[in-house]
A and B are shown apart, each in its own frame.
Chain A
Amino acid sequence: MFTSSEDMDTDEGGVIKQFMFVNRKAPYGTIYALEGLEVVLISAAFEQDVSMAFIDDGVYELKKAQDTKAIEQKNFSPTYRALEGYDIEKLYVEKESLEARGLTEADLLVDVIVLDRAEMAAKMAEQDVLISF
């Protein structure tokens, strides 16, 4: 998914910031989840403190058993499992969003950290950069 050599440029003077990518949209209906994931993967090359938050319909991005053959879109859900290989291991899921949609951790295709609303709020507040799609 890397598209140009400068994407790999990590010479940023050693600054490490907390980046949180906030996902609030379901996959496939719009492109935000897929293109959001592309930024997350690129960010891994910059050696920042990267996390992802899944709130509201964003939790549907992690649902097991996605099969996109019949809609002829790329099933990008396996990419979430590959994030670990990029040292992106902080996947925060809001408990209230899961529950409101009748989902549990067992429905998700990757290991996540479930936070309640107060914990998620605190986590968001401490970030340097929040990028939402």
Chain B
Amino acid sequence: MKIGVLVNEGPYTHEASDSAYQFTKAAIEKGHEIYRVFFYHDGVNNSTRLTEPPRDDRNIVSRWSELAKAHSLDLVVCIAAAQRRGIMDENEAKRQGKDAHNLADGFRISGLGQLVEAGIQCDRLVTFGD
């Protein structure tokens, strides 16, 4: 089955990203296809590579990056929500004249249309948020 996942909250403050990660992992283990994980609202904060949690805590950002690498996941960060919250890839940083970019490996920035398209293409869309 094709499943899409929507993550609406950032890492650590809410459990949403943890739940979405565990759900995504379990779905892959069960042989389902994760068509896309879309990060919206504060969920875009799951994609900053500057995250550096204490050593004894999970690294939510790199955990997503690693899962994406292992299973060729499509991790999409909403551009409008990302711009509001200071998440940028190299191209966007250049375009906006910023001196830094912070998008983590395995994520890509794109439009909200990618969420609607996931809803159209997927058999199921599961939302995680606050």
Interface residues in chain A, defined as those with a beta carbon under 8 Å from any beta carbon in chain B: 1-4, 6-9, 12, 15, 17, 19, 31-32, 35, 38-39, 42-43, 45-46, 48, 128-133
Contact = CB atoms under 8 A, between A and B. Distances in A.
Interface string B91-104: 00000000000000
A12 to B, nearest CB: 5
Interface residues of B, number: 21
Given A31-B41, A42-B111, A131-B125, A3 B116 contact: no
A3 B80 contact: yes
A35 B40 contact: yes
B62 interface: no
A38 B120 contact: no
A15 B127 contact: no
Interface of B: 6, 8, 40-41, 79-81, 110-117, 119-121, 125, 127, 129
Contact of B116 (A35, A42, A128, A133): A42
A2 B117 CA distance: 15
24 contacts: A1-B80, A4-B79, A4-B110, A6-B113, A6-B114, A7-B112, A7-B113, A9-B113, A9-B117, A12-B121, A32-B8, A35-B40, A35-B41, A35-B80, A38-B80, A38-B112, A39-B40, A39-B112, A43-B116, A46-B113, A129-B125, A130-B125, A131-B125, A131-B127
B110 A15 contact: no
Contacts of A17: 119-120
A48 B117 CA distance: 10
Contacts of B110: 4, 6
B18 to A, nearest CB: 19
B113 A12 contact: no
Contacts of B113: 4, 6-9, 42, 45-46
Nearest to B42: A31
Contacts of A43: 116
Nearest to B115: A39
Given A3-B111, A3-B112, 16 more contacts: A1-B80, A4-B79, A6-B111, A7-B111, A7-B112, A7-B113, A9-B113, A19-B119, A39-B40, A39-B116, A42-B115, A46-B117, A48-B120, A129-B119, A131-B125, A133-B129
